[in-house]
Structure 1
């Protein structure tokens, strides 16, 4: 990766645009959990996600070609490498791990994303300090997800395969956190559609190869619902959301980015209550309040902090 100074100045973007892009990400990602569940009834998991990424890349190909040649030598390889970290490796780990653990565990483990993001950001971005508001925001969000999943976690019996599945899912979350910090640190100058195109294409190939190796005997049923699931996940759950995400990265804090993963878990639970007749419980309401409180606090944290060497002396006014 390049050695550009970080973090750079916050890129312009009106509060309304930032809020719209932020809400688009967590609302659409929150809806994808139920769509994935529908698609998996007809398609093997690795083939499903590989085709999803391939369709997303093809949709962005005309737009990416017009900008890809002006990025300089070696940038294509860096974007492809980031795609492996952002999509191919974590998706593979998640799908394998979720064979052995219930969805409640997967959601709980994924809720550690804000913590991983803050820790990785502290190591890789020297100016990203672990402040009390950041830790409190992340802690409120994780506590909210624990509350959401409380009833499902109490009756589980732990086995060796479940521990392995949990470890794989937790590793995938850490890899995604590294990928997001690298994107924030090095890819701020790359157009969002070029980034999404490069990552989806570079991740589709290894996912489809793994599907060919491990899912060769599994049936595929191209029903109307599976086709619609692939198109929705490719266009709405990948093309639109990832472009919003990469536009947001220079404009929001790492704490706000981490809160997004908690909000999409909350959206997934609400979708289950509204559309799948799942029960509305007190733990769900309390968990929702904690998640929303953590997200609100995270979004009050500035995107960039003054470095220690540039910080004004005690008593001096801070510039806005």
Structure 2
């Protein structure tokens, strides 16, 4: 059953801002980690560590994992499109891009979700405000990217590919409610499936046992990525979803780039040029149009 949205309390706003901060922090942690550790290995450590923590959380919460074949088939597909593919693309892209730029491009996820839902679902058609949001989103991307060449262009496209993957995941994810799978079980199952899928990839392609011992900064970044930006983030997400509803929790998309950019500037010494800032504002305007609340407020 889909939760209805309501006017959020100050506590729920605090939770939403915390979620935006910890998800924005994932771009920061990854930017530090991929300097010394190959990107897919970073992803595997992230999902494996989160799977262990979430399994323990399920035990503490008294919830049971679902083991039916149909459910695990769904976990593996969800793990592929919601974790393995997008995490790998984003972390690889961050070997070329600043964390703030990657977070802005990743904010295109709702735009791609609107497009995918129009063609793949019967009840989520593109309305005029959403179409405006889609157009603004693509204009913002065009302004932000400019005319990069070589690896930089591929890195930009990789993050956009991750956003497309997330869009398909958001549509497929509705299946778990029909299967009667609880949200925390879904979170645990998908990261576990991701870890299984990525293990042969890192063993063959990246061979992490051949790497030098990472620095303390990288180790702490990996710990933060696993515990704060993945496991804890899932707790926050489903806590907000349960009381504030899906519409309100979707506001996090607008806030994540703000925190990712701030961390990149304050801690990593990154910067955004004028073109990238303009692209950010155009994309945010598109997301506001897709969300629809601002338009309804103006009409009232």
Task: Using structure 2 for the length normalisation, give the TM-score.
Answer: 0.76
Q: Structure 2 residue aligned with 1:207, among 182, 198, 207?
A: 198
| Residues 244 and 43 of structure 1: CA distance in aligned 2, closer, same or farther (over 3 Å) | same
Question: 1:88: which partner in 2?
Answer: 84
Provide structure 1 residue ranges, at least 5 long, that are not aligned to the other structure. 1-7, 303-320
Aligned pair count?
A: 286
2: CA distance between counterparts of 1:234 and 1:92? 15
DSSP 3-state at the match of 1:41 = coil
Q: Report which of the two structures shows the higher radius of gyration computed on alpha carbons.
A: 1
Structure 2 Cα separation of the partners of residues 296 and 166 of structure 1: 23
CA distance in 1, matches of 2:31, 2:94: 12
1:176 aligns with 2:169: no
Alignment map for 1:52-67 (pairs within 5 Å)? 52-65=46-59, 66-67=62-63
Q: Is the 8 A contact 1:184 1:249 kept in 2?
A: no
> Which piece of structure 1 moves more, 87-96 or 208-217?
87-96
What's the RMSD between the two structures over aligned residues?
3.7
Q: 2:261 aligns with which of 269, 272, 290?
A: 269
Cα gap change, 1:102/1:279 in structure 2, threshold over 3 Å: closer, same or farther? closer
Which position in structure 1 is the counterpart of 2:188? Answer: 197
Q: Between Structure 1 and Structure 2, which shows a larger proportion of helix residues?
A: 2
Distance 1:275 1:21, change over 3 A: same
- Output one character per residue of 1:25-79: Cα deviation in whole Å (capped at 9) or x when no partner: 3322222212111112332222222111111111111232432257867324322
Q: Which residue of 1 aligns with 2:25?
A: 31
Change (3 A) 1:175 1:128: same
Tell me the TM-score normalised to structure 1 length.
Answer: 0.72
SS in 2 for 1:32: helix
Alignment equivalent of 1:187, drawn from 174, 177, 180: 177
Deviation at 1:127, TM superposition (A): 1.6
1:219 positional shift: 1.3
Match of 2:231 in 1: 239
Residues 290 and 73 of structure 1, relative CA distance in 2, 3 Å threshold: same
Distance 1:208 1:261, change over 3 A: farther
- Residue 246 of structure 2 corresponds to residue 252 of structure 1: yes
Is 1:15 aligned to 2:12, yes or no? Answer: no
Q: 1:289 to 1:75 in 2, by over 3 A?
A: same
1:124 and 2:120 are equivalent in the alignment: yes
* Aligned equivalent of 2:298: none
When residues 284 and 168 of structure 1 are mapped into structure 2, their CA distance, relative to the original with a 3 A threshold, is: closer
Range moving further from structure 2, 178-187 or 227-236: 178-187
Shift of 1:262: 5.1
